Structure 1
Amino acid sequence: MTDAPTVLVCWTTVSQQEQARTIAQALLERRVAACVQIDGPIESHYCWDGRVCCETEYRLVIKTSAGQQTRLKDVLRELHPYEVPQIVTVRSVDVDRDYARWVDEQTG
């Protein structure tokens, strides 16, 4: 897809559905995301402060353009309730050209 803009997919998690909705709304209003999907509840297992934890969380799947990557991370850090939020971003390898253009327009 050489003529399509690069689409990034970012994941983060929060402990409450309302937190997920608030972050999703802010990302869209600030135009750092074209689309945010909320999955959950999910069960997350992780180590924190030397102990194994298991918590219910909600996952946000965020689609944005490559040009918004830094701003997206900054906004997530600003809004996120966690001390150390999960912010994982990957570049898409194959995206429908029209969808990629739409993502780019929404975040441009």
Structure 2
Amino acid sequence: MADSDNRIVIVQTTVDDESKAYELARGAVEARLSAGAHVDARMTAFYWWEGAVQHEREYRVSFKTAEDRVEQLREWVHAQHPYEVPQWIVLPVTGTTEAYLAWAQTETRGGA
């Protein structure tokens, strides 16, 4: 896994609407921008916004994608996302099996 064409990453965002979380997860997979996506159970987030600490019930969406697809995924998610400033976190994946890596690579390239 020496170059970015041979790595996968986990990309995360959050949204406060369960239906929108499902829409983002399914849409990214259908668009072949993500090999798979998880919508985590509802959680409470605390954060600074407009000079005050806010809190919101949110859903985390985690996308499994090829590293060279991250920018296309970001553009797509941000175009669909209801937040003014969406969370966007890219986490490296280490220690994955060759079979899982091959699956993720295939599914983010149209299944070819």
* TM-score normalized with structure 2 length: 0.91
Offset at residue 17 of structure 1 (A): 0.6
Matched, 1:83 2:84: yes
Q: Deviations over 1:49-72 (max 9, x none)?
A: 001011100000110001201101
* TM-score normalized with structure 1 length: 0.94
Q: How many aligned positions are there?
A: 108
Offset at residue 90 of structure 1 (A): 1.8
Matched, 1:105 2:106: yes
Offset at residue 5 of structure 1 (A): 2.4
Identity of aligned residues (%): 29
The aligned residue for residue 47 of structure 2 is 46
Q: Distance in 2 between matches of 1:21 and 1:38?
A: 7
Matched, 1:72 2:73: yes
Note the 1:12-23 alignment, pairs <5 A: 12-23=13-24
Q: Deviations over 1:67-103 (max 9, x none)?
A: 2011011011101110000010122121111111100
Q: Which amino acid in the other structure matches residue 76 of structure 1?
A: V
Q: Distance in 1 between matches of 2:61 and 2:91?
A: 14
Classify the secondary structure of the residue corresponding to 2:6: coil
The aligned residue for residue 29 of structure 1 is 30
- Unpaired runs of at least 5, structure 2: none
